[in-house]
Chains A and B, each alone.
Chain A
């Protein structure tokens, strides 16, 4: 059997620990994980072509919601689902404002994150390992 195609997830969080632990966990769960927070963020996204993006709001030097808007305003990246992940309250409002697809409040239950991803990309969601 060929190795199933691992869905690409882009994790954008400037907190190293979160980014690191989340990457490890998603890797465990069968995702191909990317982390980026470059100035040329949109170019990176276009290059990686992730299946889903987990995006923090409070980023050093920039606002996650602005990045989200850029993605959603670009024809190439518009269809990529974006999940806002933040410790802020009122995420629902932010989500609407930046046209994100879902949100998860920090600190999160990993089951909630996984369920949200599964809901957004059911077909690409990796099967749990046997």
Chain B
């Protein structure tokens, strides 16, 4: 079981099993981290304390020195205000200041006056100048208060004679500022031992203002106000006699920490490596002091040094106990999961199946799946329903499903539909619904009534699909069909649609009427329609190729071998001959089949027939008098010949030529009319091409004496064509050649076979034809025009007819010509190649 558990979710299981160890490791890491942090924090705090203590000492010391300087300034002001001050007055002034109380370490305030050697007699007699060696200037302490042994001893002393004091005094004098001296040693007083310290000097000049330059200052100097200060007392005073326990301090005058310059020392007994060290260079009036700070071991005793080890120990204890607890929990959980797994195994399949169902319902985006309670209110609504009707699940849960009905449907049907469903169990429907945005959709689907095992109604399930596009297509189709029917029924044509087997699928009214008319004896129109082709087979009488042509043509279109088939045919209907134009058109886009249309063309056919008859009779009637005229002419010719009247014979021959032209005109007109009507018929036969040409040439040679027709006939092949018509074509080319070369004596006719085709060439040496006019030559009614127009008569039909004959016989006609160089007209025709072919065609 554990193995299964492990293998099922290996990674997750590993994480669970590793949790106790991970907790332990994490606890240790955290503890160490926190301890280290606390330790660092302690150090930081100690450093801040150290810095703070140092800063406090420095600032207090600076403040003390500044207030002492201020004392000197006020003393100088007093002295300047009272230039003849007596010793008693000065003593009183100093007493008021309360030096001992207010200025710790300051031993007193004094005045040393400058005397030139000549002025020594001005010194008070009770003051003895020390030392007494002769010199340029004497600085004699004349006032020194308050009264004390040391201060009394100082009277008369010349400080200028001692190097350290002299440096400070000179600087003060020259700069006009107060100056603190380097370290000086003060003589031992009673009981207090020798002390080091410093003296502050403030120059006093004859004027209240400090003179502008050094020379003036030296000249107007009166003396110095000074204050000797004991270092130890001064700094202890600055620290209110409570120096910090955690800091060592040594103060030096000047820039260097030389022991000879040390003016204050506060050191603990223990010599340990200090944790923090700090050196401060502090500017004081006229000089610099160096403060050397270092921390004492006692600095840590003031902080919570024990906090780090306690944190570490506590953290480790917590980590270990957490490890134990977690391990216990994990073991318990594994046991619980194993049992839970066993428990849930049977549930799982059910859940999975429910899950699948839910996925199916939610995933059915194209299907709305809606559950209703027994009162018709919506209880579930899938994504497909939202898609279809626009409402979200939150919006519709609890509302009646008739919400989506059109107003009319809601009134008429209401919940009737559901009641019906209860009766039958399941109900199909297709109806228009209203979407949330007011648009309409068509939906098709089924409603199922849901019952529980005790046959109590639990609700309804509705499944619906959007069929709007199908309904719209259906409607469009119906509209289109109605339109088509309207168009078809208004057409004069009889139209039917046949399926690929030839059965009538659909037809217009006119087709039905025609079929009824031609088939009234049949019992059922339907039966007839399916056999309509059989019926045609019996009816069609008056065409030469008839029903077989129709059937084969129709079959070819039905089988998709041809796109269309057109055919005209006639038959007898109710005693009259009627003609129809049959058109069969393949339906490419609708699974095969064809459209058959029959148009009554009887009227046109009758007109054509009348025209044909008229032309036929007219030409016959025209030719008859020409024939007799010609024959009478021949008779006359013979009479004149007998009388040797050759002049009359010539005239008669000219007359005869004109009659030949009239005949040819009549024939051309008749041919044109047939060509136009598509009625020209070719009676094809196999004949020897050269023989035919020779006959034509012989006949034409009879009618011309001016031109000699030269033949070179080398074709020696048979062709399958209308001999008479091809002869007519050759005749036309020859008569043209003669007609358009009035000054030439010769016309040439050649035949030969080129590339399996027979070619006939007719060459004349006449007027020729310009290149740009050659293309028009084979058009109807075209004649070569120009200055010679009057010379060449005719309707311009000859070449048109010739071209029609040749091209309808499967041949080709062309021409090479240039003005004044004559013309070469040629045509080609297919030949009969093999004996077998000859035999078959013959």
Contact = CB atoms under 8 A, between A and B. Distances in A.
A21 B632 contact: yes
Contacts of B659: 107
Contacts of A111: 702
B478 interface: no
A24 interface: yes
Interface in A85-130: 87-90, 92-93, 106-112
B620 A110 contact: no
Nearest to A106: B627
B638 interface: yes
B623 A28 contact: no
Q: Bin chain B's interface residue count.
A: 20 to 34
Contacts, number: 62
Given A58-B620, A93-B683, A107-B623, A28 B628 contact: no
B683 A92 contact: yes
Interface residues of chain A: helix, strand, loop or mixed (majority): helix
Which of B626, B634, B663, B699 has the most C-beta atoms of chain A within 10 angstroms of its own C-beta? B634
Contacts of B625: 17
Interface in B696-712: 699, 702-703
A20 B628 contact: yes
Interface in A23-77: 24-25, 28, 58
Contacts of A107: 623, 626-627, 630, 659, 663
A110 to B, nearest CB: 4
A90 B619 CA distance: 14
Contacts of A58: 620
A109 B702 contact: yes
Interface string B676-687: 000001010000
Given A17-B628, A21-B628, A22-B631, A87 B620 contact: yes
Contacts of B699: 112
Contacts of B663: 107
A15 interface: yes
Contacts of B683: 90, 92-93
Given A90-B683, A107-B659, A107-B663, A18 B635 contact: no
A89 B699 CA distance: 18
B633 to A, nearest CB: 9
A18 B670 CA distance: 22
Contacts of A24: 631-632, 635
A128 B630 CA distance: 20
Contact of B630 (A28, A93, A108): A108
Contact of A21 (B620, B631, B670, B703): B631
B724 to A, nearest CB: 7
Contacts of B620: 58, 87-88
A17 B703 CA distance: 24
B484 interface: no
A89 B670 contact: yes
Given A89-B670, A93-B683, A107-B659, A15 B631 contact: no
A25 B631 contact: yes
Nearest to A21: B631
B624 interface: yes
A41 to B, nearest CB: 21
Interface in B591-643: 616, 619-620, 623-628, 630-632, 634-635, 638
A111 B703 CA distance: 10
A13 to B, nearest CB: 9
A112 B635 CA distance: 15
Nearest to B623: A87
A15 B627 CA distance: 10
Nearest to B674: A89
Contact of A110 (B616, B619, B630, B703): B630
A3 to B, nearest CB: 18
Given A22-B631, A87-B624, 9 more contacts: A17-B628, A18-B628, A21-B628, A21-B632, A88-B616, A106-B626, A107-B623, A110-B630, A110-B634
12 contacts: A15-B628, A17-B624, A17-B632, A20-B628, A87-B627, A88-B620, A90-B724, A92-B724, A106-B627, A107-B623, A107-B630, A107-B659
Please give me the 4 A-B residue pairs with the lowest Cβ-Cβ distance, nearest first. Answer: A17-B628, A21-B631, A87-B623, A107-B627
